[in-house]
Amino acid sequence: MGGTMDGTKQQRRGNTRQRIQDVALELFAEQGYEKTSLREIAERLDVTKAALYYHFKTKEEIIVSLFEDLTQPIQDLIEWGRQQPHTLETKREIIRRYSDALDGAAPLFRFMQENQATVRELRIGDTFKSRMTGLRDIIIDPESSLTDQVRCISALFTLHAGMFVMQDMESDPEERRKAVLEVAIDLVTQADRGSRGH
Amino acid sequence: MGGTMDGTKQQRRGNTRQRIQDVALELFAEQGYEKTSLREIAERLDVTKAALYYHFKTKEEIIVSLFEDLTQPIQDLIEWGRQQPHTLETKREIIRRYSDALDGAAPLFRFMQENQATVRELRIGDTFKSRMTGLRDIIIDPESSLTDQVRCISALFTLHAGMFVMQDMESDPEERRKAVLEVAIDLVTQADRGSRGH
Amino acid sequence: MGGTMDGTKQQRRGNTRQRIQDVALELFAEQGYEKTSLREIAERLDVTKAALYYHFKTKEEIIVSLFEDLTQPIQDLIEWGRQQPHTLETKREIIRRYSDALDGAAPLFRFMQENQATVRELRIGDTFKSRMTGLRDIIIDPESSLTDQVRCISALFTLHAGMFVMQDMESDPEERRKAVLEVAIDLVTQADRGSRGH
Amino acid sequence: MGGTMDGTKQQRRGNTRQRIQDVALELFAEQGYEKTSLREIAERLDVTKAALYYHFKTKEEIIVSLFEDLTQPIQDLIEWGRQQPHTLETKREIIRRYSDALDGAAPLFRFMQENQATVRELRIGDTFKSRMTGLRDIIIDPESSLTDQVRCISALFTLHAGMFVMQDMESDPEERRKAVLEVAIDLVTQADRGSRGH
DNA sequence: GATGAATGAGCGTTCATTCAT
DNA sequence: AATGAATGAACGCTCATTCAT
């Protein structure tokens, strides 16, 4: 395992791009975007900075590529949601699937959550915002009371908080995940109940 | 030449420290901590960078001082809460007062929310975290179900989300504030109901 | 001689800006603009690159400042010329004075001559072009034949060529200067003679 | 797959070397040598940078090859001139033919004119200089007065200026060309008259 | 006849920070 | 209470060049 000739350099068959993405995401999530320098990424990979530029035109392009690669499931979810009837069961399913999607790209979402100021100024900022708005519009009934609308948004943010903020709670991660999901579903359920007359 | 009131320089009778804090907070909240340079702050105030160093030992000290000055109400709130009985009414009051406290230092909290990765590495990171834990421990009943614990945390995050994320909703800010507060109080109420058996 | 305290650093009373300009002009003229790096300039002055940035906002600003400082005489000459009657004697005087002005800022003009492609993309490009046009319009009679117009431009370029291209001719510089001036004056004289019919 | 004539790639039957030269000259003349990167040339040709290195050993070799290919007529002219008697008519013919030669390789000469600082440091610098000296020695009578020698050099520079500097004059290019040639011939004629006593 | 992948050196620029005055 | 002048370290980025395939 390792190189075919010697062990000095790891296998480098054409997976460098992927390796850059992996290391970059790890560092971005750990220390933030601005505090992570290209030098640092390059050193971890044992290549030169210039090698990064062979694979990505700018530093921003690295995070953009990660965003595009990893948020596809959410985009799919939104499209699916738009074609469903706006029933309570649909909303619940959206919450469940969104929870899964967050889980599937946890480091990226941790990064987005913790670097909002940065993200806002990056190209992905608008894209992300419009996705969140898309999601919101599916689970919110525009006719409902403001309170119920807030409940729906709160449901989404409970999922986010569940991933990153509640990590220091002493409890089994899997159980916590279930509890978070339950609270979120509860919120959209209450919102729906209010919206449909009493 | 260069009288005290000639208008060329704004009134500056020893309030420079305060003015630095004001401008810094504005810029930190707007563009993030790392993207705001001391040069930028100095230029806005029409003083030199070196002047900032007369008032603050480092860049970090500026944000630390803001944090200390502006989060005192929350510290007070926690101390007050600790001395109250752990009744539902206390919890509701905590939520109400926390909502007010957030409002009173909105730009700082916006900054903390949007620069979590940065804050974590700053000296204020731990302080902030321990305050949030303190608050949490007051409104959470450790005996209650995990779901109810999540409800309480969700209540706090609903307040946060209410300040920053929901700003683009079309609705009167004051009404939104009330709706957010209602949802948060609802969450701790439900949590309390579960926790006291029923 | 040297510093007041020690000889390690030359006197540095506030003349650094000037010293940067001097060294920069020398190097720009010698090796061209792009091939001269700020590192090189800084090293020659025994300061850091960052010190250059205290005095000039960008590399381009260094050359712009040189241009502005050193071409003032030519600007003055143009303004003077515009207020004179368009007689032959005026034109001859323009040529004489322009020759002096070139002499007074020889390194800058050498630089401009030898880095035209670069200058064109710099902020000074347009300014320089419009100055040359201004000069031209003073010594050219728009009614004259194309040939005579060419003679006038040729006169100006003869002066330029005299400074830089003819330097390798074996001959006393002062005599060459006189000869060049004679040819240039001859050209405008011939142009004038043609233009006045006779 | 990838047929010879499918239009995806332009016809490329071994003419890549030529195409590199064409594009390089265009870009060198337009933006200068240093500001034109091999990446840019490669991208315009839709090949990789490495492909350039198949055809030329270095960046410098590209400009050298252009110089050698395009200045052959001038080399021929000089050799022809050397074998002619040093009569006025010969000199006039030299001027005429040089004007044609400049026209035939206008972009290259524009490049040389506008990038003198660069050219000086390149291998072609000396070659070019010696060619100019060769030309000069043919039309200059070493016995003549300094003024007349300057006239001859001025004649050559008038031709140069005619190509590049006078392009913004409002006038038919062909007429301008004739006028420039007339002035240049006039200059050598005057020089010759002086040189032969009279 | 060319590409894919990479390098090493260097660039212009910005930053937080220092210190004598 | 503040400035003028500078530094050292780092940054994102680009360049000409190389070489195995």
Q: Do C158 and D154 touch (CB under 8 A)?
A: yes
Asked if C181 contacts C95 with a C-beta cutoff of 8 angstroms, the reply is yes
Strand F contact nucleotides, protein CB < 7 Å: 1-20
* Inter-chain contacts counted by CB atoms under 8 A, chains A and B: 108
The answer to whether B24 touches B41, Cβ cutoff 8 Å, is yes
| 11-70 of chain B touching strand F, CB 7 A cut-off | 12, 14, 16, 47-51, 53-55
Which residues from B are below 8 Å from A169, CB to CB?
A: 149
pLDDT profile of chain D (198 residues), mean per 10? 46 80 97 96 97 97 96 95 94 96 93 94 92 92 92 94 81 90 96 76
Nearest by CB to D153, from C111, C161, C187: name it.
C161
- Give strand letter and number of the nucleotide nearest A19 (CA to C1'): E5
Span A59-74, mean pLDDT? 96
For residues C4-18, give the mean pLDDT: 62
Q: Whole-number Å distance, CA D115 to C1' F19?
A: 33
Structure token pair of residue B164: 């920053």
| From B113, B117, B133, residue closest to A31, measured CB to CB | B117
CA dist list (Å): C150 to B64, C188, D184: 71, 10, 10
Is-contact B20 B52, C-beta < 8 A? yes
pLDDT band at C12 (very low <50, low <70, confident <90, very high): low
**Which chain A residue is nearest to residue B118, measuring alpha carbons?**
A32
Structure tokens at D154: 């001025």
A11 touches strand F (CB under 7 A): no
> Angle at the Cα of D138 (from D136 to D142), degrees rounded to 5?
80
Q: Do chains A and D touch, with touching meaning 3 or more CB–CB pairs less than 8 Å apart?
A: no
pLDDT at position B10 over 60:
no
Q: Can you read off the two tokens belonging to residue D143?
A: 């016995």
Task: Give the pLDDT of residue B198.
Answer: 53
Q: Which amino acid is at A181?
A: L
Confidence at residue B6, expressed as pLDDT on a 0 to 100 scale: 46
Mutate to test the interface with D, among C33, C150, C166, C172 (most CBs of D within 10 A): C150
Q: Cα–Cα–Cα angle for B135, B136, B138, nearest 5°?
A: 70
Cβ contact (<8 Å) for D118 and C175?
Answer: no
Burial B41-56 (b: 16+ CB within 10 A, else e): bbeebebeeeebeebb
d(CA A149, CA A194): 10
CB A45 within 8 A of CB A62: no
Q: Which fold has domain C59-195?
A: Tetracycline Repressor; domain 2 (1.10.357)
Q: What is the mean pLDDT of chain A?
A: 90
C-alpha distance from A121 to closest chain B C-alpha (Å): 8
pLDDT given for residue A49 in this prediction: 97
CA→C1' distance for A35 and E19 (Å): 28
pLDDT tens-digit readout, B38-69: 999 999 999 999 999 999 999 999 999 999 99
Better pLDDT: C140 or A6: C140
pLDDT above 90 (res C58) = yes
- Give Cα separations from B36 to B42, C30, C90 (angstroms): 11, 40, 58
Look at residues D71, D65, D39 and name the one whose alpha carbon lies nearest to residue D52: D39
pLDDT digits (tens, 9 = 90+) for C24-47: 999 999 999 999 999 999 999 999
Please tell me the distance from the alpha carbon of residue B113 to that of residue B101, in angstroms, as a whole number.
15
Q: Does C166 sit within 8 Å of D150, measured CB to CB? A: yes
- Calculate mean pLDDT across residues B138-157: 93
User: What is the percent of chain B with per-residue pLDDT over 70, rounded to a whole number?
Assistant: 92
Confirm if B6 and B19 have CB atoms less than 8 A apart: no
Mean pLDDT of chain D: 90
* Confidence (pTM): 0.90
CB contact under 8 A, A32 and B171: no
Which of chain D's residues 39-78 bind strand F, using a 7 Å CB cutoff? 39-40, 49-50, 53, 57-60
Query: Residue C169 — pLDDT band, cuts 50, 70, 90?
Result: confident
Query: Strand F contacts (CB < 7 A) among C residues 1-30?
Result: 12, 14, 16
A171: three-class secondary structure by DSSP: coil
Would you tell me how many other CB atoms lie within 10 Å of the CB of residue D117? 28
Does residue A51 have a pLDDT over 90?
yes
Query: Domain boundaries in chain D?
Result: 59-195
Q: Is the pLDDT of residue B3 over 90?
A: no
Q: Which of B11-15, C48-52, C157-161, D153-157 has the lowest mean pLDDT?
A: B11-15
The whole-angstrom distance between residue A123's C-alpha and the CA centroid of its chain comes to 16
Other chains touching C, judged by 3 or more CB pairs under 8 Å: D
Which has the higher per-residue pLDDT, A63 or B15?
A: A63
What value does the mean pLDDT take over residues B33-38?
A: 96
